[in-house]
């Protein structure tokens, strides 16, 4: 913040995550609403860890699963974050 203005750099590089977990939106909806378990989804290969595997520590998956478990979202919230469909 300078001279009462907020300044920021806008980059064109894609966002880079420490760990990437990918899956269909329907599976993520089930995980985020608590109908599906993250660890079970990983085991069944419904979602997969596909990025930066070198950063995966054995203690991360239970922590991630616990965080999602505590932050279950109601279906109304899922509709707000649902990705737009391409036509």
**Per-residue model confidence (pLDDT) at position 1:** 42
**Per-residue model confidence (pLDDT) at position 8:** 54
Query: Is the model's pLDDT at 35 over the cut of 80?
Result: yes
**Per-residue model confidence (pLDDT) at position 21:** 80
72 assigned to some structural domain: yes
| 59: phi then psi, degrees, rounded to nearest 5 | -85, -5
Contact 48, 10 (CB under 8 A): no
42 assigned to some structural domain: yes
Q: 18 CB contacts (<8 Å, ≥6 apart)?
A: 52, 55
| Domain encompassing residue 29 | 20-80
More confident residue, 79 or 87: 79
12 assigned to some structural domain: no
**Mean predicted lDDT score pLDDT of the chain:** 74
Distance CA 4, CA 80 (A): 33
Distance CA 78, CA 30 (A): 10
**Per-residue model confidence (pLDDT) at position 46:** 92
Domain count, the chain: 1
């Amino acid at each position: 913040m300078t001279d009462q203005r907020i300044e920021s750099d806008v980059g064109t590089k894609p966002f880079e995550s420490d760990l990437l977990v990918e899956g269909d939106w329907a599976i993520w909806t089930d995980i985020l609403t608590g109908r599906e378990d993250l660890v079970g989804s990983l085991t069944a290969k419904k979602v997969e860890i596909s990025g930066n595997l070198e950063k995966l520590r054995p203690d991360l998956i239970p922590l991630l699963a616990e965080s999602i478990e505590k932050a279950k979202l109601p279906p109304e919230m899922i509709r707000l974050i649902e990705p737009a469909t391409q036509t």
